[in-house]
Chain A
Amino acid sequence: MAVSGGLLVLFIVVHMVGNLKIFFGREEFDGYAAWLRAIGTPALHETWFLWIQRAGLTLCVLLHIGTAADLAVRAKRARPVRYRHRPKVQGGYAARTMRWGGVILVLFIVWHILDLTVGTVNPRGVHGEPYGNVVAGFQPERWYITLFYALAVIALGFHLRHGLTSALQSLGRGNAVRERGLSAAAAVFAVAIVVGYLSVPFAVTTGLVT
């Protein structure tokens, strides 16, 4: 859970940095996207690295879901008779929504790949021109798509908020002295990720990026 999640967090950071390149204009953004397909050349054939990375990410996601499902099944088995009176757990919204938040994220990832990787649900969907596709995808009249992206990214923020501190604890890195600092750092990181990711669709919807 912690290890697969940690690797996915690394991807999330790199992916966000890549997204932000859209603010430097069409040429740089499309050029960056083209470079992603060419990483490792000429040692590797074009897009080989990309496919290796995709395979690695898929493996991480599957391991992450697998371990989460195992924990959920064990939790269900461990309490066959439920409490009649049970207030909401006190550990906070983030901890409480990890499982359903994860389901939302999987659904989002499927849509996101169909939208901006494969292009089937993108109104433009021209291969090799991500700048144009992003701009077409988040036009003001497609506000519901922007809203869906916003909800998914906020769900990701909550997922990271609990996930980061939890992963550090699982890897034995947490202690009482550092706990407060780590918890605050996780909150700041989660907010930074949410803001970074949301800046792109909102910039398009509000006409900042055209």
Chain B
Amino acid sequence: MKLTLRIWRQNGPSDKGAMVEYKVDDVSPDMSFLEMLDVLNERLILDGEEPVAFDHDCREGICGMCSLVINGAPHGPERATTTCQLHMRKFKDGDTIDIEPWRARPFPVIKDLVVDRTAFDKIIQAGGYISAPTGAAPDAHAMPVPKPDADRAFEAAECIGCGACVAACPNGSGMLFTAAKVMHLGLMPQGQPERYDRVVDMVETHDDLGFGGCTNTGECTVACPKGISLDTIGMLNRDYLRATAGGAKK
């Protein structure tokens, strides 16, 4: 396959940045999107140019490091798939592909396609923990959890914190991530002691960091590589109202 890539190049946080065009020949349809960028970078290094910086780690779709907006879609055109698990067979020979970093004020660009997602860590620090001593692995069923709650918590726990929800949101909101983290703990018995403080603290931190507000457009859930559903935000809202209007927050 022969492709034309238009890639966002930005030398550092204070650089203005621009889209730069590259031609890549001999791309195999079996390559992953990141392997295709590896091929480009190998050539750039041999030519004495600066390679394109991009985030990646496990390349198995579970770490949440890869973060490319491909033709305007975070993680590319395939649903429920991370960039590293996206393969070039999803594109056609001769395609032009635009590659940009996540765009949000709380995710400043470090270099090229790499953004700083410390803001998510700050949201986690605000409430993404439990204080109940859980000790060593307990016996199965020692603490019964209703099956629907366990399933729902597990679904929320699938969030890998990649930030695609923020990148996709027309409001630049990180509410799907926040909701996934809040509900993943809030539905489990071990998460109950901090349940209503957690939701308020995490939402406040989210807002203070400069993320936008949720208007339920549903863009996030379409972009989410783990398919976290929009009603997770509805559950967060319910807990938030119980905590504030209902007076459940201590």
Mask, B194-213, CB within 8 Å of A = 1, is 00000000000000001111
Q: Does A181 contact B (CB under 8 A)?
A: no
Q: Which residues of A contact B104 (CB under 8 A)?
A: 78-79
Contacts of A83 in B (CB 8 A): 69, 72, 100, 103
Q: Is B192 an interface residue (CB 8 A)?
A: no
Closest to A167 in B: B216
The number of chain B residues with a CB under 8 A from chain A is 42
Query: What is the bound-complex CA distance between A117 and B75, given in angstroms?
Result: 53
Q: Do the beta carbons of B235 and A90 come within 8 Å of each other?
A: no
A 152-170 binary contact with B (CB < 8 Å = 1; else 0): 0000000000100110111
- Number of residues on chain A facing chain B (CB within 8 A): 35
Q: Is the CB of B100 within 8 A of A85?
A: yes
Q: Are A170 and B237 in contact (CB under 8 A)?
A: yes
B122 to chain A, nearest CB (A): 15
Given contacts A85-B98, A91-B217, A172-B237, contact A78 B212 (CB under 8 A): yes
B210 touches A77 (CB 8 A): yes
Collect the chain A residues with CB atoms within 8 Å of residue B234's CB.
Answer: 168-169, 172-175
- Interface status of B71 (Cβ within 8 A of chain A): yes
A179 at the interface (CB under 8 A from B): yes
Least distance between A80 CB and chain B CB atoms (Å): 6
Closest to A68 in B: B215
CB pair B235–A175 under 8 Å, yes or no, is yes
Q: Is A103 an interface residue (CB 8 A)?
A: no
Alpha-carbon separation in the docked complex, A82 to B100 (Å): 10
> Nearest A residue to B229 by beta-carbon distance?
A176
Assess whether B172 is in contact with A85, with CB atoms less than 8 Å apart: no
How many angstroms between the C-alpha atoms of A87 and B170 in the bound complex? Answer: 11
Shortest C-beta distance, A173 to chain B (Å), equals: 7
A95-B215 contact in complex given A170-B237, A172-B237, C-beta closer than 8 Å: yes
B25-33, B54-62, B238-246: which lies at the interface = B238-246
A55 smallest CB distance to B (angstroms): 24
Whether, in the assembled complex, B76 has its beta carbon less than 8 Å from a beta carbon of chain A, the answer is no
Q: Does B219 contact A (CB under 8 A)?
A: yes
Does A171 make an interface contact (CB < 8 A)?
yes
Flag whether B83 is at the interface (Cβ < 8 A): no
Q: Which of A78, A81, A170, A179 contacts B210 (CB 8 A)?
A: A78
Decide if A87 touches B71 in the complex (CB within 8 Å): yes
> Residue-by-residue, is B3-20 near A (CB-CB < 8 Å gives 1, otherwise 0)?
000101000000001010
What is the CB-to-nearest-CB distance from A24 to chain B, in angstroms, rounded to a whole number? 39
Decide if B218 touches A91 in the complex (CB within 8 Å): yes
CB of A14 closer than 8 Å to a CB of B: no
Shortest CB-to-CB span from A161 to chain B, Å, is: 12
The answer on a CB contact under 8 Å between A86 and B72 is yes
Name the residue among A74, A78, A85 with the largest chain B CB count within 10 angstroms.
A78
Apart from the given pairs A98-B215, A175-B235, 10 other A-B contacts in the complex at a CB distance below 8 Å: A71-B213, A74-B212, A78-B172, A79-B103, A80-B105, A83-B103, A84-B19, A89-B219, A169-B234, A172-B234
What are 11 sample pairs from A and B whose C-beta atoms fall under 8 A apart? A78-B104, A81-B17, A87-B71, A89-B219, A95-B215, A95-B218, A172-B235, A172-B236, A172-B240, A175-B234, A176-B229
Nearest 6 interchain pairs by C-beta: A172-B238, A78-B172, A78-B212, A91-B217, A174-B234, A85-B98
The interface of chain B, by Cβ under 8 A from chain A, is 6, 8, 17, 19, 69, 71-73, 98, 100, 103-106, 170-173, 210-219, 222, 229-231, 233-242
